[in-house]
């Protein structure tokens, strides 16, 4: 393991989970709740979402093998999916899609279960973050490396929890302009990482 791999894992998980973007979404999900209730929703949502991602880190490769899908093929498919998410981030489509998920939850009177849906699934543990978790797990193969990867995910989870628990303060601090700039910059980073995943997958498929 080198520092570049560790940084790549942190950036990939941070961008696909997107704590700043989810902080803004959580304000709409928790309308009418006080600070203590928002922290409770944030904690429950983060624990469930991160638990799902850890499960995919541990058994994702075995699941793909059972289905007859090679890691190289999944790397290409996952890279394409991450690139789509990056495209949405750069052109401000992802926030709009997440907001629609939040609105559907609220209109169905699921306000007491927002920690599970849509916060934990699919906003935290969604297609992008699940794909990223499986792809990263393939690069962290030994038990010690997997523990390190889980540690990186937990560090992102702490940032996410703080962002959700302090959503109103974070949103006021960075404002609309700051959020747009941050989302687009993170989208560009994710686009570059996704292209690298695709390139590695294609190269390995061609060599096999």
* Structure confidence by residue, pLDDT tens digits, 159-200: 999 999 888 776 677 677 777 787 788 788 888 888 988 998
Residue 108: CA atoms inside 13 Å, Cβ hemisphere, count? Answer: 11
User: Is 50 exceeded by the pLDDT of residue 10?
Assistant: yes
Percent of the chain's residues with pLDDT above 90:
38
pLDDT band at 91, cuts 50/70/90? confident
Tell me if 140 sits within 8 A of 146, measured CB to CB: yes
Q: What is the pLDDT of residue 42?
A: 92
**So what's the pLDDT on residue 25?**
80
Least confident of 114-123, 135-144, 147-156: 114-123
Q: Is pLDDT above 80 for 152?
A: yes
Say if residues 83 and 194 touch (Cβ distance below 8 Å): yes
CA 150 distance to own-chain centroid: 14
3-state helix/strand/coil string of 49-116: HHHHHHHHHHHHHHHHHHCCCCHHHHHHHHHHHHHHHHHHHHCCCHHHHHHHHHHHHHHCCCHHHCHH
- At 84, the pLDDT band (50, 70, 90 cuts) reads confident
Indicate whether this model's pTM tops 0.85.
no
SS (H, E, C) 118-166: HHHHHHHCCHHHHHHHHHHHHHCCCHHHHHHHHHHHHHHHHHHHHHHHC
**Any idea where the domains of the chain sit in the sequence?**
3-207
Other Cβ atoms within 10 Å of 112 Cβ, number: 9
Given a cut of 70, whether residue 99 has pLDDT beyond it is no
């Amino acid at each position: 393991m080198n520092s570049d791999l560790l940084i790549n894992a942190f950036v990939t998980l941070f961008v696909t989970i997107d704590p700043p973007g989810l902080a803004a979404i959580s304000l709409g999900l928790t309308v009418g709740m006080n600070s203590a209730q928002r922290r409770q929703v944030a904690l429950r949502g983060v624990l469930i979402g991160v638990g799902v991602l850890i499960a995919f880190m541990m058994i994702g490769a075995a699941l793909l093998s059972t289905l007859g899908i090679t890691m190289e093929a999944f790397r290409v498919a996952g890279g394409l999916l991450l690139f789509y998410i990056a495209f949405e981030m750069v052109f401000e489509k992802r926030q709009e899609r997440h907001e629609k998920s939040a609105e559907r939850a609220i209109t169905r009177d699921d306000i007491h279960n927002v920690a599970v849906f849509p916060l934990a699934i699919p906003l935290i543990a969604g297609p992008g973050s699940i794909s990223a978790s499986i792809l990263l797990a393939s690069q962290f193969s030994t038990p010690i490396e997997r523990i390190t990867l889980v540690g990186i995910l937990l560090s992102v989870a702490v940032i996410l929890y703080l962002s959700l628990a302090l959503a109103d303060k974070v949103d006021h601090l960075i404002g609309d302009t700051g959020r747009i700039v941050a989302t687009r910059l993170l989208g560009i980073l994710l686009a570059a990482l996704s292209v690298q995943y695709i390139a590695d997958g294609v190269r390995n498929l061609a060599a096999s």
